[in-house]
Amino acid sequence: MGRLDNKTAVITGGAGGIGRAAAQLFAAEGANVLVVDLDETALAGAVEDAASNRVSYCVADVTQAADNERMFAAAVERYGGVDILLANAGIEGVVAPIVAMDEADFDRVIDVNVKGVWLGLKYGIPRIAERGGGSIVITSSVAGLSGTPNIAPYGASKHAVIGLMRAAARECAAANIRVNTVNPAPVETRMMRSLERGMSPGDPEGARQRIAETIPLGRYAEPLDIAKVMLFLASDDAAFVTGSIYKADGGSNTY
């Protein structure tokens, strides 16, 4: 028996590194999985990587209310309901000091990383409640736990989703819906390659090495490292866990 047998998960940002790893792991543990993202080609690749008839995709923009409503409706139509939401979609934005950043760049990060999560909660909570409860896991970051220069909108967005999580955990407890965040340190994904180039345009590998040296375990996380924490929170093993921040950071934040 799998840890997610007879459950259905909606995973936003499903075409990215963490989303793909979570989709594969959740399906292997018995879940039906709907992966959601903007790029249909990348989504098709994520479904192929999962190598499971339990996994399908839906092209949707998490910043749009209608798309959120549609993606949950698709999960209900295909699989009979929704038990798990992994609100994982997010963007890093540009690397720049606050005074040099364009307003449009700030707005885009907040739109995807905060409004996108809020809309996922708005339309996902009723669907999960219909099933008698379940789990919502929000991807935050170590940047949501401390100040990080030159990526202020990203850091602000990851602080903000912790606030959303805490409010939702209190609101949803009576419906038996648990809500938690996972806060990764750097992960071996496209996002970190982008941030490394932004931090050190002439030497991104140097930036990578310097960042890795700040992590007590001495390396970046692999996407599967993060997906395994998400699996725990999504499963009934975490039946009494809600309103919590789960750091998956290699010891980076020890306070």
Closest C-alpha to 23, from 249, 221, 32: 32
Known catalytic residue: 79? no
Residue of 79, 154, 220, 246 marked catalytic: 154
CA distances from 74 to 42, 44, 63, 82, 125 (A): 19, 16, 17, 10, 15
Distance CA 8, CA 49 (A): 18
Indicate the residue type of 215.
I
Residues 137, 181 contacting (CB under 8 angstroms): yes
Indicate the residue type of 90.
G
DSSP state for residue 222 in the 8-state scheme: P
CA distances from 46 to 42, 101, 106, 204 (A): 6, 33, 29, 27
Distance CA 136, CA 243 (A): 10
Q: Which residues are known catalytic residues? A: 154
